[in-house]
Structure 1
Amino acid sequence: MVRAALANRDFRTMWLSSLGSTVGTWMQNVILAAFVYTVTKSAWLVSLVGFCNLVPQLLFATFGGIIADMFNRKKLIFWLSLEQMIGSLAIAWIVRTTDFSRPALLIAVFAVGTGAALQGPVFLAVTPSLVPKEHLAGAISLNSVSMNVSRVVGPAIGAVLYVWIGASWVFVLNAATYVIIMVGVTYVKVPKFERKQGESKLDRLVGGFRYVRQDPVVFRAICTVLLFSLFCMPFVVLFPAMASVDWHVSTKSTLYGLLYATFGLGAVVGALSVGTFLSGHKIERVLRGAFVLFGASLAAYITVHSAALAFPVGFLLGFFYFVVVTSLSTIFQSRLDHSIRGRVSAVWMMCFGGTVPVAGLIAGWIVSHSTVNTVVYFGAAFALFLAWFADLRAPEDRNGLRETLGR
């Protein structure tokens, strides 16, 4: 499935363009946090920068879905990439000295985050339309691989460049990566979709939520990813504390970077597996099994008190993490109609990415009143509940099983 998806010229062009741009995005995200903390020594300002970057997904993803289903998606990707490029150049200008304006930086970061929040649903709507339905799992696997490769490669490149040329020039280079996607999208033929006629403004606003509510599989997939993000994923935010307290690894050491990279490598392999050697299995069963093994891996991750053991367990955790996410996304996307895909994808984006700031705040409050272990063990146990909850078989498959058992 992966090879078949890559054989499609339009999908391959979009995928490579997106990969190049996302590497730049992660260079900027990680180095900006490091620069702000180095200059100000304020963890609060660092958290505000992260909040301004991510909260637009919660606020504006719905509007991104609306415009994705109303306007030319190629043009939207082009102009929103240009907006993010300008925002990144503004960040580079603001931080050219250590005596930078805090409000100006937060506004610029919020602007870049808003562009990403509006563009995300457009991307999610375009990608599945570039490949036949039978190759959808491979395409989504590759998109997940792109996300995780960029999370590993981007910070690594950014860290080297930060030392050599400084933070401001790193952000200029990130701005340049948006040109890759602006050029790439001009060469892609995005299939036209039939817009629904006679929709009121209210229908356009709530259409994605209505579609989610009407399709039982889509509704349960959305509920699953929302619960997973809120209760199982806070360990990502707490990773520095886990490394320091449980494995006695300094967050400024090379070993810490290798631990994070190992987790990312596991995620890359997990994402690829859904479109390769796991593609012959029922994806609904793969998902539920992955939830069980994710929960077990997460519990083991917080239990081991050795950095040496954290490496193999971290790889397995990353692997099952993205088997879960990629399987969920594949089932979800396979149920969507092209005419409303943008708005429904926006709901997914809100529940998966937009809840990160909320989950981080909740986890931080709990840790301040108990321990990191409490949050992580609860997430592991909750993953086992999701293995039961995430029954994403189509209604006709469930009914067919009931009829068979009733005979």
Structure 2
Amino acid sequence: MNVETTVADSSLLRQRAFVAFWLARTCSSFGFQMFSVAVSWQIYSLTNSALALGMIGLMQFLPSVLLALPAGHLADQFDRRRIVICAQLIEWGALLALVLLTLFSWTDKTALWGLVFVLAVAKALEGPAMTSMLPSLVPPAILARATAANAVGGEAAVIVGPTLGGFLYVAGPDVVYSVSAAFYLLSLVLIGRIRYTRPQQPRLPASLSTLFAGIHFIRARKDVLGVISLDLFAVLLGGATALLPIFAKDILHTGPWGLGMLRGAPSIGALLVGLWLSRNKLEKNVGMIMFGSVAGFGVATLIFALSSQLWLSLLALAALGGFDMVSMVIRGSLVQLDTPDDMRGRVNAVNAIFINTSNQLGEFESGVLAAFMGAVPAAVLGGVGTLVVVGVWMVLFPHLRRRQKLENEAAQE
């Protein structure tokens, strides 16, 4: 067997592994989105309580933050594929438990909250391991395209999953949970078929030093610090989508159908841009493209804030989602490529904390500002704040601004 044949076989295996990985992530995303709709509707039907609905968010948020660093440590010390399989088995078991509880009418809010918490714990453990697998499945040169393809699957799940779950709920929540479990089972089978290998690493005992190693690494790498902190502050300030019900009812004077269109517009924009990015490579000026995309996010937020026409608001939100997709693909690829494999789990865990926290706090910040100064001024302030952050970060991180390629270049300044 000659060298060319060996290289071709290796390339084919990696391609198959990535396809299986993409399908697995998409299936689990569909399952989770359908589950989320069903459990929310079921708990509200049982309680008619907004607080009970809020508890679902709390049950999901706490594990994602509290377990992120330990999960990152596990992802760097043990076989990541096995961690994902174990975590998804727990998620699958929680969904089966929901099916049985619903079939036998044993459901109450405490049991539902408990299973939501179990599923959230498993997802928290799965996240860093799953994210850290991707760079080992594709060559560095096409990691951005692979990241975009993964994001496309996720956006498709966000758009279609809740709708499918809502239609199936007519037949009963147990039907939704059963289909969700089937999606997770398919994901498990696909993950189990992936040939995933990584260099053997010496196992380090869990300690404060190893748990917080991801934070120390990010602080020492200026490009990684700039990328993660840019996302944190831009999302904190640009959370206008949290105010969509106010804009739909009081400013655009539309009903629930209009609100649904407004909620779906960012995902549609992100999906279309993600499809383009998955087929085209970002060759140069990635730093300025990233900053330009975050600035575009801010401008789109301003247009949405000042719009009084539904069509213009929809276009602004679609543009917002598209700009966010470009920024997310570049940011995610830079973090992965600038991080050595033995640190990816912990760095991705820290990144996940920032993403989860900024999303939640961004919605809270927008709500507080809207309560004090009105929805339009709050959204305008968010858009302006995003543009200010872009300008400041371009000054604070000049190497990131001048960065040409996604692949790691010269040593950080």
TM-score by length of 2: 0.87
1:278 CA displacement: 6.4
> In the TM superposition, what whole-angstrom CA distance separates every residue of 1:12-43 from its partner, at most 9, and x where no partner exists?
11001111110111112133223333443322
Q: Which amino acid aligns with 2:21?
A: M
SS of residue paired to 1:279: coil
Aligned residues: 391
Q: Does 1:297 align with 2:300?
A: yes
For residues 143 and 382 of structure 2, the distance between their equivalents in structure 1, rounded to whole angstroms, comes to: 30
What does 1:66-85 correspond to in 2, within 5 Å?
66-85=73-92
For residues 348 and 249 of structure 1, the distance between their equivalents in structure 2, rounded to whole angstroms, comes to: 37
1:394 CA displacement: 4.3
For residues 5 and 321 of structure 1, the distance between their equivalents in structure 2, rounded to whole angstroms, comes to: 32
Kindly report the root-mean-square deviation, in angstroms, between the aligned alpha carbons of the 2 structures: 2.5
For residues 73 and 242 of structure 2, the distance between their equivalents in structure 1, rounded to whole angstroms, comes to: 30
For residues 396 and 5 of structure 1, the distance between their equivalents in structure 2, rounded to whole angstroms, comes to: 36
Kept in 2, the 8 Å contact 1:224–1:389? The answer is no
| Partner residue in 2 for 1:322 | 325
TM-score by length of 1: 0.88
| Partner residue in 2 for 1:349 | 352
Q: Does 1:243 align with 2:248?
A: yes
Q: Does 1:63 align with 2:84?
A: no
Structure 1 residues 29 and 124, CA gap change in structure 2 (3 angstroms) = same
Q: Does 1:203 align with 2:209?
A: yes
For residues 260 and 98 of structure 1, the distance between their equivalents in structure 2, rounded to whole angstroms, comes to: 33
For residues 106 and 47 of structure 2, the distance between their equivalents in structure 1, rounded to whole angstroms, comes to: 10
Structure 1 residues 211 and 187, CA gap change in structure 2 (3 angstroms) = same
| Partner residue in 2 for 1:53 | 60
| Partner residue in 2 for 1:20 | 27
**Which of 111, 122, 126 pairs up with 1:119?**
126
What does 1:236-385 correspond to in 2, within 5 Å?
236-251=241-256, 253=257, 255-277=258-280, 279-385=282-388
Q: Does 1:130 align with 2:137?
A: yes
> In the TM superposition, what whole-angstrom CA distance separates every residue of 1:366-406 from its partner, at most 9, and x where no partner exists?
333332223322221122123224446647968xxxxxxxx
Kept in 1, the 8 Å contact 2:46–2:108? The answer is no
SS of residue paired to 2:212: helix
For residues 381 and 396 of structure 1, the distance between their equivalents in structure 2, rounded to whole angstroms, comes to: 20
Kept in 1, the 8 Å contact 2:47–2:109? The answer is no
Kept in 2, the 8 Å contact 1:225–1:352? The answer is yes
For residues 108 and 158 of structure 2, the distance between their equivalents in structure 1, rounded to whole angstroms, comes to: 28
Kept in 2, the 8 Å contact 1:229–1:356? The answer is yes
Which structure 1 residue ranges, 5 or more long, are not aligned? Answer: 399-407
Structure 1 residues 259 and 200, CA gap change in structure 2 (3 angstroms) = closer
1:96 CA displacement: 5.2
| Partner residue in 2 for 1:405 | none
For residues 76 and 116 of structure 2, the distance between their equivalents in structure 1, rounded to whole angstroms, comes to: 26
Kept in 1, the 8 Å contact 2:248–2:259? The answer is yes
Structure 1 residues 390 and 333, CA gap change in structure 2 (3 angstroms) = farther
1:302 CA displacement: 2.1
For residues 112 and 401 of structure 2, the distance between their equivalents in structure 1, rounded to whole angstroms, comes to: 52
SS of residue paired to 1:351: helix
Structure 1 residues 105 and 396, CA gap change in structure 2 (3 angstroms) = closer
For residues 15 and 386 of structure 2, the distance between their equivalents in structure 1, rounded to whole angstroms, comes to: 36
| Partner residue in 2 for 1:161 | 168
SS of residue paired to 1:238: helix
> In the TM superposition, what whole-angstrom CA distance separates every residue of 1:41-71 from its partner, at most 9, and x where no partner exists?
3222212212212332111111111110111
Q: Bigger CA drift: 87-96 or 327-336? A: 87-96
> In the TM superposition, what whole-angstrom CA distance separates every residue of 1:113-152 from its partner, at most 9, and x where no partner exists?
1111111111110011111111111111111112211100
Structure 1 residues 80 and 198, CA gap change in structure 2 (3 angstroms) = closer
Structure 1 residues 238 and 338, CA gap change in structure 2 (3 angstroms) = same
For residues 98 and 262 of structure 1, the distance between their equivalents in structure 2, rounded to whole angstroms, comes to: 37
1:190 CA displacement: 1.4
